[in-house]
Amino acid sequence: MEKPIHVFSDLFAQLGLPNDAASIESFIRTHAPLAEAVKLCDAPFWTTAQAAFLREQLANDADWAELVDQLSVALRGG
């Protein structure tokens, strides 16, 4: 199995957010739970650029897509 190209904290850095463990935990605590009916990229707390990045990564099944999915699960309390 290939090693992932990126780790979870890299996604936060890519989104322009603090990416240390405490900041990631705080972000998730602050914004969870995200309703199941709301797509991650449509959540109200993203900037336009952040939402576009998330949407593009999922649409293209890009390197970041797995981490975007992990973030979605984390924000939904999973």
pLDDT in tens, 29-45: 999 999 999 999 999 99
Q: Are 67 and 19 within 8 A, CB to CB?
A: no
> pLDDT band at residue 2, thresholds of 50, 70 and 90?
low
pTM above 0.85, yes or no: yes
Supply the mean pLDDT for the chain. Answer: 94
Q: Where are the domains of the chain?
A: 8-75
Q: Please, what's the b/e burial string for 41-57 (b: 16 or more CB within 10 A of its CB; e: otherwise)?
A: bebeebeeebbebbbeb
| Fold assignment, 8-75 | Arc Repressor Mutant, subunit A (1.10.10)
Give residue 10's pLDDT. Answer: 98
Average pLDDT in the 9-36 region? Answer: 98
Q: Are 43 and 53 within 8 A, CB to CB?
A: no
